[in-house]
Structure 1
Amino acid sequence: MRIAIMGSGGVGGYVGAWLQQAGQDVHFIARGAHLAALRSEGLRIEHPQLPLQLPPVQASDDPAAIGPVDLVIFAVKLFDTEAAARQMAPLVGPETRVLTLQNGIDSVAMIRAQLGPAAQVRGGVIYVSAVIERPGVIRSPGGLHSIVADSAQGDPVMAALQQAAADLPGLEIKLSEHADLVIWEKFVVLAAVSGATTLLRARLGAINGHPEARAFLRQLVDESIALAQARGVGLRAGLADEVMARIGGMPPAMRSSMSEDLERGNRLELGWLSGRVHALGLELGVPTPAHSAVYRGLVLYENGAPAAPL
């Protein structure tokens, strides 16, 4: 398959690297020093069990130079969604599928609003921790490395994507007929982990090891589930306990990309995670004190590190 990675940061770079390792024709959309490194030195995945080194890869900052592809993996930060969706228009032909692996619960609608109602946009989630360590280098602490994507009632392109990753040690792809539920389940996990690790400035090992911090994490999980129920999303009974067990099994060194972004002074996806829970809670009349505390405690950093006081 001819695949474009729209957003070749931590997640996009990780997925694209493994798909290229599987023999797919992968084109990375990147910019700046990261783009230069991809072109000159290749792409490297630093991983404790599954390191990967690719030679110089096909990379560009101009989607028009690539043209229509079979599949776009859309992995930009949520605050860049609208601009990136417009920019990728030259990649999207009548038979192109766009698979969004973004965080949150709004991605499919946001992309389709830019590309038009005929666009074949598929929702999906990815479970992997990966960030740009330096230009051309993606760092992952290990743990989960799986994608769950919309099967779209047997869409052949989605089936081909699943088959492409069938023998990969570093990437597993599953298809689901209930992508909306999968996206909400990921949102419950991600909003809690991102909120706790970022507000508390701590990694999961420390949070899971302290009873008060773990209680805060559970409160974040419970609030998102309550919101889903209020919106009529049929999440299964017992999900909160499953989520806490899953988080408890994650690598102790793991933290969210939002926590990394806060430390680096970058923009945060806050408005689409705890901020989204906070706003939906107000809209639906569902109390969300923990997520509201995360949102209000970080809102001054939402657009990057605030200017130094006068």
Structure 2
Amino acid sequence: MKFLIIGAGGIGCYYGARLLEAGHAVTFIARGAHLEAMQQQGLTVEHEAMQFNAAVDAMSMDTLIAQHSCADYDLIMLALKSGATAGWLAECGPWLKHADTPVLSLQNGVDNEPLIAETIGQTRTLGGLAVRIGGHIIAPGHIEAKGPAQVVMGRWPRIAAPDPALEQLAETLNAAQIPTRVTDNIRYELWKKLLINNGVNPLSALTGLDTRSLTADPALGKAVYAMMQETAVAARADEVELTPADVDEMFALISQFDAIKTSMLVDREKGRPLELDDISGAVIRRCQQQDEPAPNTELVQRLLQLDIRPVQWQPLTA
């Protein structure tokens, strides 16, 4: 198959490397120093179960549109930051509409798939999430990833009948050592992942702590759990019912998973925009729609918006 990965950062590059090792054709879309390094030196991906280093097909979005048709690809994997989705669709909408190529979103949040479906239609929109993976660019052209790196995917907003094409795609990904399962209710799965994202991403960015440190701390662990509960309340606005058992399951999952830096913490350290609006903002807006409180999520989001950082103590001098 021919795969196109839009937003070839830590997660996109890991999945792309897996697909290349399985014999598929992969084009990586990136920018800046990371793109230049991939073009000149190839791509390096380090993972506990894989060491990849090879030349790859990497280009900018402008070059892709100028030199290739959307129909050249069998699947587009979208791994952009959620805040970039609307802009990307506005820029590439005409290019996307000249084909039937499906788009699989592997992004944070619960608002990407509706935007994609508005542009290319529901039949081409695949909701998805990357589960139990941490992946970051540690240097241009150099990725570090960890975790089982599973994928859950489904047609947006849900599947009403068996879907042979989607099952075939899942078989292809599984054969490439990307553990994949198909769900008939991707909206529920996206909200279930948001339990974790809203629980740890903002707090991690605020405190500078990894996920294990957050959940193991008596006070911060309670805050993580409370923000997950607020996420479950927010989901009802989208007619998704997340049960107390769902909250407990996701809290246990992130508590037991490897200690990782969240993507939001990495973004804050590097001075990049945070996905606040797409994670905590999505929870706050939907709680407000239902006249439900979300005090923990609101507090952490506001502190991040104010960009409050720890002040290093300096001894007084005489």
TM-score when scaled to structure 2? 0.87
Superposition pairs of residues 75-94 of structure 1, within 5 angstroms: 75-89=79-93, 90=95, 93-94=98-99
Cα distance change on mapping 1:216 and 1:296 into 2, 3 Å: same
Letter paired with 1:285? D
Correspondence for 1:216: 223
The CA deviation at 1:229 is 3.2
- Between Structure 1 and Structure 2, how many residues are aligned? 297
The answer to whether the aligner puts 1:67 opposite 2:75 as a matched pair is no
Cα pair 1:28 1:60 within 8 Å, conserved: yes
1:265 aligned to 2:271? yes
CA distance in 2, matches of 1:250, 1:76: 24
Give the Cα–Cα distance (whole angstroms) in 2 for the partners of residues 285 and 129 of structure 1: 35
For structure 2, the residue ranges without an aligned partner over 5 or more in a row are: 309-318
**In the alignment, is residue 4 of structure 1 matched against residue 9 of structure 2?**
no
What pairs up with 1:82-231 in 2 under 5 angstroms? 82-89=86-93, 90=95, 93-113=98-118, 115-117=119-121, 120-127=124-131, 128-140=133-145, 142-150=146-154, 152=159, 153-169=161-177, 171-231=178-238
Q: Deviations over 1:209-238 (max 9, x none)?
A: 211011111101111112223543123451
- Contact 2:235–2:286 (8 Å) recurs in 1: no
Q: Alpha-carbon deviation of 1:205? A: 2.3
- Unmatched segments (≥5 aa) in structure 1: 303-310
Task: Write the letter of the residue equivalent to 1:77.
Answer: K
> In the alignment, what sits opposite 2:315?
none
- Is 1:244–2:255 an aligned residue pair? no
* Residue type at the aligned position of 2:45: I
The 8 Å contact of residues 66 and 91 in structure 1, kept in 2 or not, is answered as: no
User: 1:193 touches 1:255 (CA, 8 Å); kept in 2?
Assistant: no
Q: CA RMSD in A?
A: 2.0
Match of 2:314 in 1: none
In structure 2, do the counterparts of structure 1 residues 52 and 85 end up closer, same or farther at CA, with 3 Å as the change threshold?
Answer: farther
CA-CA distance at 1:285 after TM superposition: 0.7
> Which aligned runs of 4 or more in structure 1 are off by greater than 3 angstroms?
86-89, 91-94, 116-119, 151-157
Alpha-carbon distance in 2 for matches of 1:155, 1:131: 33
> 1:132-171, CA deviations, whole angstroms, 9 ceiling, x for partnerless residues?
111111112x2231010005544454333312222344x2
Contact 1:70 1:157 in 2 (8 A): no
Equivalent pair of 1:219/1:290 in contact (CA under 8 Å)? yes
Q: Tell me, in whole angstroms, the C-alpha distance in 2 between the residues paired with 1:251 and 1:281.
A: 31
Contact kept in structure 2, 1:147 and 1:173, CA below 8 Å: yes
- 8 Å Cα contact 2:237/2:286 also seen in 1: no
User: Which residue of structure 1 lines up, in the alignment, with residue 34 of structure 2?
Assistant: 34
**TM-score, normalised by the number of residues in structure 1:** 0.89
Q: Is the 8 A contact 2:233 2:287 kept in 1?
A: no
**CA, structure 1 residues 129+95, in 2 after alignment: closer, same or farther (shift >3 Å)?**
same
Contact 2:234 2:287 (8 Å CA) reproduced: yes
Closer, same or farther: CA 301–63 of 1 in aligned 2, 3 Å? farther
Alignment check: 8 A CA contact 2:201 2:263 kept: yes
Amino acid at match of 2:2: R
State, as a whole percentage, how many aligned pairs show the same letter: 29
* SS of match in other structure, 2:152: strand
CA distance in 2, matches of 1:105, 1:219: 19
Change in 2 beyond 3 A, CA 1:155/1:54 = farther
Equivalent residue, structure 1, for 2:311? none
Correspondent of 2:295 among 280, 289, 293:
289
Q: Report deviation, 1:92.
A: 5.4
CA contact under 8 A between 2:212 and 2:256: conserved in structure 1?
no
- 1-structure distance, mates of 2:122, 2:195: 30
What amino acid sits opposite 1:265 in the alignment? G
* Structure 1 residue 45 displacement after superposition: 1.1
Q: In 2, Cα distance between the equivalents of 1:118 and 1:242? A: 30
1:203 and 1:255 in contact (8 A); partners too: yes
Distance 2:82 2:281 in 1: 13
> Are 1:63 and 1:91, in contact at CA under 8 Å, matched by a contact in 2?
no
Amino acid of the structure 1 residue aligned with 2:64: P
Which amino acid letter does the alignment assign opposite residue 10 of structure 1?
A: G
Code of the aligned partner of 1:250: F
Q: Does 1:21 align with 2:28?
A: no
Corresponding residue for residue 52 of structure 2? 53
Q: Which has the larger radius of gyration?
A: 2
Shift of residue 8 of structure 1?
Answer: 0.5
Q: How much does 1:286 deviate?
A: 0.9
